[in-house]
Amino acid sequence: MATAARPRVLVIRGGAIGDFILTLPAIRLLRESIPNAHIEVLGYKPIIELALAAGVADETRSLEHASMARLFAPKAPAEGQLADYFRSFNLIISYLYDPDGYFRENMERMGVKTFLACPHRVEVGKGHAAEQLAKPLESLAMYLEDPAPRIAVAEPPATHPLPDRPLVALHPGSGSLKKNLPVEHWIAAGRALSTAFPLVRLALITGEAEHERGITARLREGWQGLDYIHWDQLPLTTLAGHFCGTAAFLGHDSGISHLAAACGVPCLLFFGPTDPLTWAPRNAGVQVVSPPEGTLEDWPVDRALAEMRRFLQGLRLGTEK
């Protein structure tokens, strides 16, 4: 007797790092609900590789191929390799922005069996982001119970071994300067925490955005003389490997913060002006601090440092001087 073919499921998800990580619980729900399915994720590399690290996808493919553009225009060719590719799936779930409905119409013309359009953006005040992103799956009798994404990388990269001291990672950036503490606060934090917690080692995380905004240069100058590790513009899966051995993380409302939380790192996250009830990670060990009024840009440095000290003391990472 011939073996039945595995169901094939395609999830199409663009967006930034945090948006994608917040979609991982929905993809995990698909994995749990259709355990024998082949699940493929179509999105932006290298972000989509996190679906493999999370164990919720079998394969990934880039959304940025030139052939994809024609699918957002009316009456795309219904035959050919691209059409065959989409037709090969029993279920396609799309989080793409499709205001005119052209993408959906083209999927139907190509003969896609089941197509489910999901919201490309989250609305504040309508539940947590991960829950909103999984909500459309209820039409398929799939209900999300756990909105926390989880990414497990077995060990840190061999080329960047972790120190034998507890490691505290700091990410001073986000997608918007309005969501950041002032750079001067992070400079002060590096110096204050190095002195107050001599048994830990700091790791500075920076990416392209921090370079473009001058944050990296200012921090490197401000941290001169400190003993710290610099994780600069690392691939996300490499950074996830580092997080598997990190004792604590300090950051803002950012994709990197969502990655740290998904990797199980205890996190202290400074949130504002975004709503933490909508956007903050739901993972265990995450603590969120928001200014009672104003923005993080207005927060006094002594208040921010006090929150960091309180958090690290609670983790018992070493006796303060």
Q: Is residue 152 part of a domain?
A: no
132 and 234 share a domain?
no
Under the banding of pLDDT at 50, 70 and 90, the label for residue 160 is low
19 and 116 share a domain?
yes
First to last CA, the chain: 72
Write down the pTM of the prediction. 0.94
305 and 179 share a domain?
yes
Over residues 285-295, mean pLDDT: 88
Structural domain boundaries enclosing 271 = 167-314
Report the domain count for the chain.
2
34 and 172 share a domain?
no
Q: The CATH number of the domain where 106 resides is what?
A: 3.40.50.2000
Instruction: Tell me: pLDDT of 320 over 60.
Output: no
Q: Is residue 292 part of a domain?
A: yes
174 and 304 share a domain?
yes
Under the banding of pLDDT at 50, 70 and 90, the label for residue 295 is confident
47 and 184 share a domain?
no
Q: Which of 301, 294, 205 is nearest to 249 (CA)?
A: 205
Query: Sheet holding 8-13: strands in order across?
Result: 59-62, 38-43, 8-13, 91-94, 115-117
**Are the beta carbons of 87 and 112 closer than 8 angstroms?**
yes
Q: Is residue 299 part of a domain?
A: yes
Q: Is residue 157 part of a domain?
A: no
Cβ neighbours of residue 143 under 8 Å, at least 6 residues apart?
Answer: 29, 137
Q: Is residue 87 part of a domain?
A: yes
Q: What percent of the chain has pLDDT over 70?
A: 94
107 and 198 share a domain?
no
Instruction: Tell me: pLDDT of 20 over 80.
Output: yes
pLDDT at 289: 96
Cβ neighbours of residue 208 under 8 Å, at least 6 residues apart?
Answer: 233
Element (H, E) at 118: none
Instruction: Tell me: pLDDT of 235 over 60.
Output: yes
Q: What percent of the chain has pLDDT over 90?
A: 79
Give the DSSP per-residue string, 191-210: HHHHHH-TT-EEEEEE-HHH
Q: Is residue 320 part of a domain?
A: no
**Are the beta carbons of 258 and 21 closer than 8 angstroms?**
yes
- Relative orientation angle of helices 255-262 and 236-243, to the nearest 10 degrees: 50
| Weakest mean pLDDT among 16-30, 207-221, 258-272, 284-298 | 284-298
Q: Please state, in angstroms and as integers, the Cα–Cα distance from residue 278 to each residue in 142, 281, 292, following that order.
A: 21, 9, 17
238 and 281 share a domain?
yes
192 and 297 share a domain?
yes
